[in-house]
Chains A and B, each alone.
Chain A
Amino acid sequence: MAEMTMVEAIRDAMDIKMGQDKDVVVFGEDVGYFGGVFRCTAGLQEKYGTNRVFDCPINESGIVGVGIGMAAYGLRPCVEVQFADYIYPAYDQIVSEAARLRYRSAGDFTAPITIRTPCGGGIFGGQTHSQSPEALFTHVAGLKTVIPSNPYDAKGLLISAIEDDDPVIFFEPKRLYNGPFDGHHERPSQSWAGHAWGEVPQGHYTVPIGKAAVRREGQDVTILAYGTMVYVAEAAVNETGIDAEIIDLRSLLPMDIETIETSVNKTGRCMIVHEATLTSGFGAELAAQVQERCFYHLEVPIERVTGWDTPYPHAQEWDYFPGPKRVGKALVAMMEEI
């Protein structure tokens, strides 16, 4: 085991896969020589050469598009879009091409591509360095959408994504790159050092795509969360003393519906927490699934605590970000309902 930050874990995953499989190539803006604006690819170009790790023109549809062409040839590109907020120029390539290559060609051509992109807020990133656009991808048939919350999962899930023969959108909550964050911005930053999930095995291992993790067992309410919100939920539970079961989804699609269903049927209450905006966010799908499957076990309406339906603001960061206070208040209210 080694102590790693999420950045180091992500870099280690790429390093291991590049060492094992000569068809794995890594590229994106500032990814090569410089090692990435978040250092996730630091040292990889030096180790594997410019044939395997290289810098790209600032053109997201180009990055994803050439990646799809390479995948069709037989490579396994692991590409980076610098911020999830800048993935939109590549949306046509992702939705119309990567997601559908296998289906429309009846398996003649496939796109085993991983698209890594830092997401999420809580860093004063303003409108274009804070977004959580996962719902735009979970809505697309043919894509897998994954979002780790800690170094252990980040490495295991990224190795799984690179090995997966389907296109995977790999969201990295940048707020968690260097340490967990529970929304208490007034307290000093935490680091991964000494954190249980900062202990990462050396070498190859995988975390399966499509499997959630129960982070805290509880009896009274199920909280469905992912990314930074896992820690926010934890803080809210500790502060309210409510015996909640916290599920870290890890994979949004495919969704681990079994784990969710079992938990909600046990607790009879379900809260969904995500940073993304409310309307048509991924929480809506989760709520619908829980409502359909757990209807007779539900004691109160399903609750969603999310970002507001506004662009992500700068100055009002902590009024926008669904922090432990908002989550805690909603939890208490849920428990008071009959």
Chain B
Amino acid sequence: MSDYGPLKFYVPEPAGRPGDEPDFSYLKVPKAGAVRKPDVDVDPKEIKDLATTMIRVLNRDGEAVGEWADPIEDGVVLHGLKSMIRTRAFDERMMTLQRQGKTSFYMKCTGEEAITVGQQLALSPGDMNFPTYRQQGLLLCQDYPLVKMICQILSNAKDPLHGRQLPILYSSKEHGFFTISGNLGTQYVHAVGWAMASAIKGDTKIATAWIGDGSTAENDFHAALVNASVYKPPVVLNVVNNQWAISSFQGLAGGDSATFAERAHGFGIPSLRVDGNDFIAVYNVSRWAVERARRNLGPTMIEWVTYRVAPHSTSDDPSRYRPRKESDAWPLGDPVLRLKNHLIKAGQWSEERHVQAEAEYEEEVRAATKEAESFGVMGQGSTARDIFEDVYKEMPPHLREQRQKLGV
């Protein structure tokens, strides 16, 4: 007789499925201000606990508390709030555009606005982001023209990417926004390489890498970490844990066994886990990691704990795999509301101004959309000649021949 019972195969399941009550008991949320702030040149071994807790600054009353609540230069926080409102207005309008059949596809970042806006404002001109498709806030908090962004979404005559790319896969070197790829995780390694190049050249620019919870399972996540570990380049390694990878909950990416921030420990990379819906925490933690990178102290990983409020994309229906009211039950709340309350408390904002700002950005996006639509919707105005350009620097004979066959 065997000493062993039959082995059992384990497949993790989320706490709630459609019809269930939302359950976030797996998420331990420390009080705002509870987590210490180490010096930027701290020995990574001394801050291992920061990968399993959660850095939070804004408390329930909207006050910024604790060691991470350092003062922020005038105007930054207000710019942050406005950019978040603007990003949300943009997402809403683009969703409508897709529903109207004017574009084929869109992805919102609802609930995650603080992370991109907060980090971008902590960067300097010349730094380079390697974003995923859910970091539109990086562009929207800069001076990137809305009309141009919408033209890309419409694939029209003024699409800066000449109709070659799926909607939302933007590219802007000028705005420190690396060309987005549909292939997940690949750009995480590019960010590390870019940062290595900056170090090789003795530059002062840094790179930021972006990845979602689900994509941390991709091989390139590990390739990026090992290279970051070995060469210690100036890179901020962001993991945006929004709990969901399309229909797969974060446990299916290994998130139930360890936090995503903890993964950096095996590589000797310091890592922090942060309330991603707390703009002040996002900005100040980003500033800390950016400062480390800029001072040649090496890479930092940051896990941003947030929640994907919207469907994965316009082709997705979350009611088929998660509780309907799950986003309402999310313990870290809404990043826009929390920052709004903070600024009202600080006497720098009001309900009236908030409503005004919402209306103003709605109108701005509406006008920009109208202008963009005048250059065509759903691929109108794109030219077939553009199919063959930019495959190579110069068009080789076989492409010239194929272009002639198409008769363009």
Contacts and interface: CB of A to CB of B under 8 A. Distances in A.
Interface in A46-101: 51-52, 56-57, 59, 61-62, 65-70, 72-75, 89, 92-93, 96-97, 100-101
B178 A72 contact: yes
A108 B230 contact: no
A235 B192 CA distance: 49
B10 interface: no
A253 B397 CA distance: 10
B192 A107 contact: no
B186 A73 contact: no
Contacts of A65: 186, 189-190, 192-193, 220, 223-224
B230 A103 contact: no
Interface stretch (B64-72, B368-376, B388-396): B388-396
B197 A70 contact: yes
Interface in B366-408: 390-393, 396-398
A70 B178 CA distance: 12
Interface in A107-166: 107-110, 141-142, 144, 164-166
Contacts of A104: 161, 164-165, 169, 171, 179, 181
Contacts of A109: 171, 173, 178-179
Nearest to B130: A69
A70 B196 contact: yes
Interface string B167-187: 001011100001101110010
B181 A61 contact: no
A316 B377 CA distance: 61
A101 B173 CA distance: 12
B59 to A, nearest CB: 39
Contact of B189 (A69, A75, A255): A69
A68 B164 contact: no
A62 B197 contact: no
The interface centre, meaning the residue of B162, B169, B190, B195 with most chain A CB atoms within 10 A of its CB, is B190
Nearest to A165: B393
Interface in B217-241: 219-220, 223-224, 226-227, 230
A100 B140 CA distance: 25
B194 A106 contact: no
Interface string A235-270: 000000000000000000111010000000000000
A108 B171 contact: yes
Interface string B202-225: 000001000000000001100110
Given A59-B226, A92-B186, A70 B193 contact: yes
B160 A66 contact: no
B198 interface: yes
Contacts of A274: none
Nearest to A210: B396
A79 B128 CA distance: 23
Contacts of B193: 65-70, 72-73
B186 A57 contact: no
B154 interface: no
B183 A69 contact: no
B171 A105 contact: yes
B404 to A, nearest CB: 14
Contacts of B230: 57
A210 B161 CA distance: 28
A260 B308 CA distance: 57
A142 B230 CA distance: 31
A144 B390 CA distance: 14
A276 to B, nearest CB: 20
Contact of A73 (B165, B183, B198, B226): B198
Contact of B196 (A52, A66, A93, A141): A66
Nearest to A107: B390
A97 B64 CA distance: 42
Interface string B101-134: 0000000000000000000000000001010000
A102 B393 CA distance: 8
B164 A106 contact: yes
Given A96-B182, A106-B171, 20 more contacts: A51-B200, A56-B227, A57-B226, A61-B189, A61-B223, A65-B186, A66-B196, A69-B197, A75-B200, A89-B219, A104-B179, A105-B173, A108-B160, A108-B173, A141-B391, A144-B392, A210-B396, A254-B397, A254-B398, A257-B398
Q: Which 3 residue pairs are nearest across A and B when measured between Cβ atoms? A: A69-B193, A65-B189, A66-B193
Interface of A: 25, 51-52, 56-57, 59, 61-62, 65-70, 72-75, 89, 92-93, 96-97, 100-110, 141-142, 144, 164-166, 210, 253-255, 257
